Chain A
Amino acid sequence: NAGVTQTPKFQVLKTGQSMTLQCAQDMNHEYMSWYRQDPGMGLRLIHYSVGAGITDQGEVPNGYNVSRSTTEDFPLRLLSAAPSQTSVYFCASSYSGSGTQYFGPGTRLLVL
């Protein structure tokens, strides 16, 4: 049981480049979320999904897209990277909307 996995662990992008952050979970959780964590700020919700085929925006969705074609995978796409998107990104999953969230190890992204 690997829990929540994220790839890559580190990434450097140039402004304007696009990329996809991968997230997978093997706990059969319906709920999955993407957060970003910046110094001095709490975790902020980017997008979330309550099940395959269903996604919705969080607090800071601009510049990011998501899709949920399977229960296991929830990729986050940066359409055109900007320096303001330099951050640590965490994917999380939970069995239900009110259940304990299990976080992945994070992806550190630097946009130059």
Chain B
Amino acid sequence: KNQVEQSPQSLIILEGKNCTLQCNYTVSPFSNLRWYKQDTGRGPVSLTIMTFSENTKSNGRYTATLDADTKQSSLHITASQLSDSASYICVVRAQTGANNLFFGTGTRLTVIP
């Protein structure tokens, strides 16, 4: 069964600290993996996209990694800011199937001053 699991469910960190969010998936055959940021009361916004051949991709203070062999991805946030407080959603796309997007339940990150 195609599934996407994220951990932790929630996380509280001090401003300026780093953190890492995890995403494990069983989706097969794998096409790509995206990380979205969802601010409270807003729609998700894409941060990065990872394909099978990519191990690391950065977008400012956000760095995503992908290990396609173990089917794991992580999102590392460096020098966190208050504006990083949001839910981060991992979305995996399968190569086949009409409904081929699988969503994680998200990690709720709270950055406190």
Interface residues on B, range: 20 to 34
The residues of A that contact B102 with a CB separation of less than 8 Å are 42
Of the candidates A4, A48, A98, A102, which one forms a contact with B93 in the assembled complex, judged by CB atoms under 8 Å apart? Answer: A98
Q: Is the CB of B99 within 8 A of A45?
A: yes
Q: Is the CB of B103 within 8 A of A100?
A: no
Q: Is the CB of B105 within 8 A of A41?
A: yes
Q: Is the interface of B mostly helix, strand, loop or mixed?
A: strand
Q: Is the interface of A mostly helix, strand, loop or mixed?
A: loop
Of the candidates B4, B31, B41, B46, which one forms a contact with A101 in the assembled complex, judged by CB atoms under 8 Å apart? Answer: B46
Report the minimum CB–CB distance from A7 to chain B (whole Å).
14
Interface residues, chain A, with chain B CB atoms under 8 Å away: 4, 40-45, 48, 56, 58-59, 90, 92, 98, 100-106
Interface residues, chain B, with chain A CB atoms under 8 Å away: 4, 31-32, 34, 41-46, 49, 89, 93, 98-99, 101-106
